[in-house]
Amino acid sequence: MEQLAPILIFLFVLFLLLGSGVWVGLALMGVAWVGMELFTSRPAGDAMITVVWRSASSWTLTALPLFIWMGEILYRTRLSEDMFRGLSPWMARLPGGLVHTNIVGCTVFAAVSGSSAATLTTVGKMSIPELRRRNYPENMVIGTLAGAATLGLMIPPSLTLIVYGVTINESITKLFFAGILPGLVLALMFMAYVGLFSQISRNWNPTPEPVMTFREKLYNSRFLIPVLILIVVVIGSMYLGFATATEAAAFGVLGALVLAASQGSLTLSTFLESLMGAVRTSAMIALILAGAAFLSLSMGFTGIPRGLADLIASYDLSKFELLMALLVFYIILGMFLDGISSVVLTMAVVEPMIRAAGIDLIWFGIFIVVVVEMAQITPPIGFNLFVLQGMTEHQMGFIAKAAIPMFLIMVVMVFVLIAFPELATWLPDNIRQRPT
């Protein structure tokens, strides 16, 4: 294969830079620079300036820092405490009891955050001490939190879906709605596992919750009203066609500020902390996207993506076989890279394959997010595992072992998506959308 030499050089330079501790975005730019100098006659500097500016000036990308800021604001409110108080009366009587608050709480916060780490930290800082105090099995508390927090990557507003949409030039709004039903189905699968485990485990002996009347449960549910209103404003404005993803993100920031102010959590200090947290995260992702855009241009000049797509096509793989190959590929890649880096690093090569195979790009976005979710709880670089280790002080081996059932459920979810693609395509095909 004539592209073998460029591929080997690209991979060597990439792993050399990543292994030396260089930031992912700069590593991608370095690889692209080497490719441009060795395999093209176009001036690398001029190409880099043009591509980096184009990627940074994308209007669609403006939704990213706004959704990040919304999550940062809510992270500094009493949202986790209010969610636990509002959810626990309804969860207590289900098989599995209050462990379900981990899953439902992460699902709710995912709908206003977009970040797996923010979801995990916000819900975990309240639920872990409460569930420990009630004598729930530690491995179940840790495992469900690790798995359910990954819903922040799928349920809109998802930062990974924004990055994916910008990378392949697809509608962010459609991708958001594609993630809703699969996200809810995955949450229900987590809850079903908890219910089943609670019935067969010999170590399940939590402290019983006091019985509450229906009226008392409704009264406690008032704590959920603010965040539910915020979800309706953000998601509803996009679904009804009133707002694009970027405009909905702006509504979300305003709503988060109002919510924080109403709780008394909005001070000058928390405002500045949330703003700087959003700036740091946004700058990191923007640098990765800029590097990926330059790398895509460089690889396009070498013909590698098209060559690899033609090679895959020559094997005459079915759609299912191609998806299984990509599933294994992304699981392995996720052991060493975070989700956003995995997406932007590979799309230049993977997108032509997917288009050639006739796979729906909106559906594939949800497929890849499920697989990237697995990477969040996969050693040695599973980010959620590190966050949980800092919160619980458990050994990494214990946390990884507790997360294995959640990983396996996500694998099952991949096959559910393949068997029922309408889970990801029905809502995007039936929304009213404003042009971005």
Least confident range from 4-18, 53-67, 297-311, 380-394: namely 297-311
Residue 211 has pLDDT above 90, yes or no: no
Band (105; pLDDT cuts 50, 70, 90)? confident
Q: What pLDDT was estimated at residue 76?
A: 79
Tell me the C-alpha distance between 183 and 153, whole Å. Answer: 9
Tell me the C-alpha distance between 30 and 35, whole Å. Answer: 9
How many CB atoms lie under 10 A from the CB of residue 383?
18
> CB–CB of 79/113 below 8 Å?
no
Least confident range from 80-89, 278-287, 375-384: namely 375-384
| Percent composition of the chain: helix, strand, coil (DSSP 3-state, to 5) | 80, 0, 20
pTM, 2 dp? 0.77
Rg of the Cα trace of the chain? Answer: 22
Residue 182 has pLDDT above 70, yes or no: yes
The answer, yes or no, to whether the previous bond of 208 is cis (omega within 30 of 0) is no
Residue 416 has pLDDT above 90, yes or no: yes
SS3 381: coil
SS3 219: helix
Residue 395 has pLDDT above 70, yes or no: yes
Average pLDDT over residues 67-71: 80
Q: pLDDT, tens digit, for every residue of 240-268? A: 778 877 888 888 889 889 888 888 888 88
Tell me the C-alpha distance between 403 and 336, whole Å. Answer: 17
Domain definitions of the chain by residue range: 17-429
Supply the DSSP string of 361-379, one letter for each residue. Answer: HHHHHHHHHHHHHHHTTST
Average pLDDT over residues 391-409: 87
